[in-house]
Structure 1
Amino acid sequence: MAGSSFGKVFQVSTWGESHGPGLGVVVQGCPPGITLNEAVLQKALDKRKPGKGSTSTRRKEPDRAEILSGVFEGVTTGTPISIMIRNRDARSRDYHKNAAVFRPGHGDITYQAKYGVRDWRGGGRASARETAARVAAGAVAQAILDTHGIIIKSMTLALGGVAIDKMDTDPVTNRLECPDSVALEKMETRISYVKKQGDSLGGVVGVTAINAPAGLGDPVFDKLDADIAKALMSIGAVKAVEIGAGCRAATLTGYENNDPITVGGFASNNSGGILAGISNGDPIVARVHVKPIPSISKPQQTVDQDGGETTLSTTGRHDISAIPRINPVCRAMLALVIADHLLRQRCV
């Protein structure tokens, strides 16, 4: 399958399916001498693993990372790093009765059109479980960024139509990674109501890179913001990405949108830390718009592989929202882009 690799100097290739023996990633281009072990990977994976929180699936996966190559005595060797995550709690029988039916909102019908065959067990490669491999790779990227003091953060800006209005709590410490305590409670109420209706919710995630140096990114087709947008859009549930002021920039005048330059730096950050596709030293800011989970128990109209009309009510263990489990995936993808461009800059 084409399209399973990302990056140029720091390159990752993911493999595996949701209901196969396991999944994983091969990382190439990581410099030697970077501190790395399975505990570092596990810390990142624990933040996205299933079975936690009000929005999460009941599937219980330990998501234990196994480093198969590229690390010796706790440091990277400069050779390819291979990481495996075994599937322990897959229940393929939950999908068997709808094996010949195209699920609305999923890639069933497009995978069938492209390949003429598809893995109906949870979507195969189209499953959100593939993102576990991205998070493992992102942990390797973050290990590189740590040596440069670059920090990647994320928070939930909106969920189910409830948006934050203030920042009065640490998003790292609460169940939805929401910085607004009032919005957090409203989000939980919304989740509870929609869950009872057999439906699902989308939302918005903010992700930021702090201390990224100026000068990252290449002109024209390899702009830093273009690569960030592609990385975040490659996450299955993501339908839109904004950088800096994003869509709001279209409503501003040039005077309002331009970031004034002072002797102390930029007076604002409508650019999201990127000008002409190159980082300017300010925080790199992106907002990620996430669609509702397509697997819902409410009956939906669809067709089967023979073209017959039918209705589908999805059973099994599914998230109510991709948030907050998608948040560490967003952090991982931003870390992969920054690490790749940081290493590209060494080659200039």
Structure 2
Amino acid sequence: MAGNSFGQLFRITTFGESHGVAIGVIIDGCPAQLDIDMDFIQSELDKRKPGQSKITTQRKESDTVQILSGIFEGKSTGTPIALLIPNEDQRSKDYGHNVDVYRPSHADYVYDAKYGIRDHRGGGRSSARETAARVAAGAIAKLFLKQQGIEIFAHVTSVGKINAPNLESNDLSALLNIREENIVRCADPATAHEMIEFIDAVRKDGDTVGGKISCVIKGCPAGLGEPVFDKLHADLGKAMLSINAVHGFEYGSGFAGSELLGSQHNDRPIPNPSPDGKGFLTTTNFAGGILGGISNGMDITFKVAFKPVATIMHNQQTINAAGEASEIKGKGRHDPCVVPRAVVIVEAMAALVLADQFLRNKACVI
């Protein structure tokens, strides 16, 4: 199976299955002598782990990360960092009903078509459980970016048709505190309450719902990204679209920008009021902090849309491995909405892109 690695200079490779012994990640290219805060890495994993609240899957996993290599006396050594996360609460019996039956909107059929074999227990590698390894790696990327003055903040901005108002605060610490005070991880408390009530009602009905996550990256210097195929927004798009259940990505003005005139959409540069007068400022930020595929120093902004979880507790028509009509009903423990746990995944993938592009840009200008 190809396609298990991501990044060029800051490169990760994940491994493991949802119902296997463990999942994990190897990070190659992390600079030496980076202070590795294990408490921070674990806190990031805790934001993604299952069983957090009534609106997430009730699978119980501590997601306790273990270091296998690449860290000595609390610092990275420059050699590959290997992190392992044991699986503790697999219930493979919950998937006995779909050994030969394809679940609607899951990867069951395409795995059979591509490989001639599939792990029916939670989907194997196609399970969102794989993203825990990305979060662990993304936490180390965040530690690296923090040294460069780069911060990443994401939160849930919609669930179904419930939309949060645009954020007006630039204080990411304050927004982070608000986000973590509610189980849906929305930085607007009133909207968060409405979202939680809706997700819980959907859960009780045996159904699921999708949503959107918005992300802002602050402190990113100008110059990250390549002007042709490896544009910064192209790498961010690939990163986000590689996350399970993601069906849409837009940056800056996104699809709404297509409805504007050029005279409305152009971001007008203005003198920088900083003491050295350097840098780049614009009156608006429809570009989302990226011009020609390269960061311009403004905030990088994007949104990610997640579909409803495919497993629902209703009878559904489908087919079996023989191509015959069949019926299936979801069983086991599943999220009624993935976005509360996906916030940290979005941040992790953004951090991996930025760390990789930062190192590539540094190599370019040496």
In structure 1, the residue matched to 2:143 is: 143
Match of 2:334 among 318, 338, 342: 318
User: Is 2:182–2:189's contact at 8 Å kept on the other side of the alignment?
Assistant: no
In structure 1, the residue matched to 2:98 is: 98
In structure 2, the residue matched to 1:49 is: 49
Q: For the residues of structure 1 that align with 2:36 and 2:80, how far apart are their CA atoms?
A: 13
TM-score for the superposition, normalised by structure 1: 0.98
User: Is 1:260–1:267's contact at 8 Å kept on the other side of the alignment?
Assistant: yes
In structure 2, the residue matched to 1:116 is: 116
TM-score for the superposition, normalised by structure 2: 0.93
- List runs of 5+ in structure 2 lacking aligned partners: 169-174, 273-280
In structure 1, the residue matched to 2:356 is: 340
User: Is 1:37–1:71's contact at 8 Å kept on the other side of the alignment?
Assistant: no
User: Is 2:206–2:314's contact at 8 Å kept on the other side of the alignment?
Assistant: yes
1:298 shift after superposition: 1.1
1:146 shift after superposition: 1.1
User: Is 1:55–1:322's contact at 8 Å kept on the other side of the alignment?
Assistant: no
Name the SS for the 1:31 alignment partner. Answer: coil
User: Is 2:208–2:308's contact at 8 Å kept on the other side of the alignment?
Assistant: yes
Name the SS for the 2:314 alignment partner. Answer: coil
User: Is 1:166–1:180's contact at 8 Å kept on the other side of the alignment?
Assistant: no
1:166 shift after superposition: 5.2
In structure 2, the residue matched to 1:31 is: 31
Match of 1:256 among 251, 257, 264: 264
Q: For the residues of structure 2 that align with 1:83 and 1:307, how far apart are their CA atoms?
A: 41
1:79 pairs with 2:79: yes
1:178 pairs with 2:186: yes
Q: For the residues of structure 1 that align with 2:283 and 2:167, how far apart are their CA atoms?
A: 21
1:176 shift after superposition: 1.1
Name the SS for the 1:119 alignment partner. Answer: coil
Q: For the residues of structure 1 that align with 2:204 and 2:39, how far apart are their CA atoms?
A: 37
Name the SS for the 1:85 alignment partner. Answer: strand
Q: Which amino acid aligns with 1:68?
A: L
1:118 shift after superposition: 0.2
Q: Which amino acid aligns with 1:274?
A: I
Superposition RMSD on alpha carbons, in Å?
1.1
In structure 1, the residue matched to 2:205 is: 197
1:216 pairs with 2:224: yes
In structure 1, the residue matched to 2:10 is: 10
Q: For the residues of structure 2 that align with 1:33 and 1:50, how far apart are their CA atoms?
A: 32
Q: For the residues of structure 1 that align with 2:55 and 2:284, how far apart are their CA atoms?
A: 35
Partner deviation per Cα, 1:106-162 (whole Å, 9 max, x = no partner): 100111100000000000000000000000010111111011111110011101221
- List runs of 5+ in structure 1 lacking aligned partners: none
In structure 2, the residue matched to 1:69 is: 69
Q: Which amino acid aligns with 1:32?
A: A
Name the SS for the 2:203 alignment partner. Answer: helix
Name the SS for the 1:222 alignment partner. Answer: coil
User: Is 2:183–2:196's contact at 8 Å kept on the other side of the alignment?
Assistant: no
1:234 pairs with 2:250: no
1:236 shift after superposition: 1.3
Percent identity over paired residues: 45
